[in-house]
Amino acid sequence: MGRRHFVVTTSVEPPLRGSPYRAGCPTRRILDRIGDRWTVLIVGALWDGSARFSELRRRIEGISQKMLTQTLRGLERDGLVRRTVYPEVPVRVEYTLTEAGRSLREPLRALEEWSITHLGDVSASQEAYDRAD
Amino acid sequence: MGRRHFVVTTSVEPPLRGSPYRAGCPTRRILDRIGDRWTVLIVGALWDGSARFSELRRRIEGISQKMLTQTLRGLERDGLVRRTVYPEVPVRVEYTLTEAGRSLREPLRALEEWSITHLGDVSASQEAYDRAD
DNA sequence: CCGTATCCTTCCCGATACTG
DNA sequence: CAGTATCGGGAAGGATACGG
């Protein structure tokens, strides 16, 4: 089967789907895209240049073939990654961040910075909380 | 039962758990905390002042009692929200963002900004992709 | 080499019922 | 009012086998 079928998280639909949860909140909408297990790691791996499928698999330790394909398809569909097929034998496929994909750098850096400066306190808070029954 | 038991996403443990996925990546670590369905909505609802449990439930349309409690507990454990119990009858409980909680504003705003400027293009890209088989 | 198809487990989360 | 306990459906994701 080709790639006709997709889970279709359709696009416009501002407010809700099943339950009235604020799916329209812009922050939530982008978290729905990058909040999964692999997206930011792939974006990071593509950061300085393109790579082919097998190279990505090697860089992102632990990712399964299925999830790499699936996540790359999602990124391609969103216009954040460009996929180029070179019809050689055997086939060669290159993945590159688009301009939109590279524009993710700013928000991701903000997250990373927050992480670096605050996750120590978070861990300490967790331990204190867990000790206090 | 008190709040002794917790799912314990322990803290230090730099690299991995089940599979060697980059759990140590700072960006992924913070996404593991705010990437769920309700966290950013709760943080947003607490943005301009504290609120009690029932007030939060009303503000965050569609959240279940269970998820509101659970997410608030996580935020409290992480030191991002402070929980204050006033032993009146009936009991009153106030939730407030801590300093650390408020510091989330910067990264969240970066995400929101990216959303607002790019999600239109993303939607267009999706539709084009879906039309092309 | 670069995938797709299928099965199977795990875990998120909603629904519901019940307490101090 | 502000929770806790329990059940169950469904989605995410890993393992495996196969195909162009």
Nucleotide nearest the Cα atom of B64 (by C1'): C14
The radius of gyration of chain B from alpha carbons, rounded to an integer in Å, stands at: 18
Distance A66 CA to D18 C1' (A): 14
According to DSSP, the residues that pair with A83 across neighbouring strands are A95
Residue contacts between A and B (CB atoms, under 8 Å): 175
Burial B91-117 (b: 16+ CB within 10 A, else e): eeeebebbebbebbeebbebbbbbbee
CATH number for A38: 1.10.10.10
Assess if residue A5 is contained within a domain: no
Domain that residue B92 falls in: 27-132
Give the single-character DSSP code of B79.
Answer: T
Give the single-character DSSP code of B19.
Answer: S
The per-residue pLDDT for range B72-85, each reduced to its tens digit, is 999 999 999 999 99
Assess if residue A50 is contained within a domain: yes
Q: Is B46 at the interface with chain A, CB within 8 A?
A: no
Residue nearest C5 (alpha carbon to C1'): A1
pLDDT of residue A44: 97
Distance A37 CA to D12 C1' (A): 9
pTM here is: 0.87
pLDDT of A93 strictly over 90: yes
For residue B21, list chain A residues with Cβ-Cβ distance below 8 A. Answer: 37-38, 41, 61-63
Assess if residue A15 is contained within a domain: no
Mutate to test the interface with B, among A82, A126, A133 (most CBs of B within 10 A): A126
Cα A31–Cα A36–Cα A38 angle in degrees, nearest 5? 130
Nucleotide nearest the Cα atom of B72 (by C1'): D3
Assess if residue B22 is contained within a domain: no
The token pair at B33 is 């905390």
Q: From the centroid of its chain, how far is CA B38? A: 5
User: What is chain A's mean pLDDT, rounded?
Assistant: 87
Helix axis angle, A26-34 to B26-34, nearest 10°: 130
Q: Is A87 at the interface with chain B, CB within 8 A?
A: no
Nucleotide nearest the Cα atom of A73 (by C1'): C3
Assess if residue B9 is contained within a domain: no
pLDDT of A130 strictly over 90: yes
pLDDT of residue A21: 65
User: What is chain B's mean pLDDT, rounded?
Assistant: 87
CA-CA distance, B107 to A6, in Å (whole number)?
31
Parallel/antiparallel/unpaired status of strands B81-86 and B92-97: antiparallel
Q: Is B19 at the interface with chain A, CB within 8 A?
A: yes
Q: Which of B63, B79, B123 sits opposite A122 (nearest CB)?
A: B79
pLDDT of residue A20: 53
Number of domains in chain A: 1
Nucleotide nearest the Cα atom of A95 (by C1'): C2
Q: Which residues of chain B have a pLDDT value below 70?
A: 1-21
pLDDT of residue B64: 97
Assess if residue A18 is contained within a domain: no
pLDDT of residue B19: 47
pLDDT of A6 strictly over 80: no
Q: Are A25 and B44 in contact (CB under 8 A)?
A: yes
C-alpha distance across the termini of chain A, in Å: 54
Assess if residue A7 is contained within a domain: no
Which residues of A spanning 57-116 put their CB closer than 7 angstroms to strand C?
A: 65-66, 69, 72-73, 83, 90-93
Span of A18-22, A65-69, A87-91, B16-20 with lowest mean pLDDT: B16-20
| Coil/strand/helix, residue B86 | strand
The confidence band for A69, taking pLDDT boundaries of 50, 70 and 90, is very high
What are the counts of helices (DSSP H) followed by strands (DSSP E) for chain A? 6, 3
Assess if residue B76 is contained within a domain: yes
Chain D, protein-covered positions (CB within 7 A):
1-6, 12-17, 20
**In terms of residues, how long is chain A?**
133
Does the distance separating the beta carbons of B115 and A29 come in below 8 Å?
yes
pLDDT of residue B21: 65
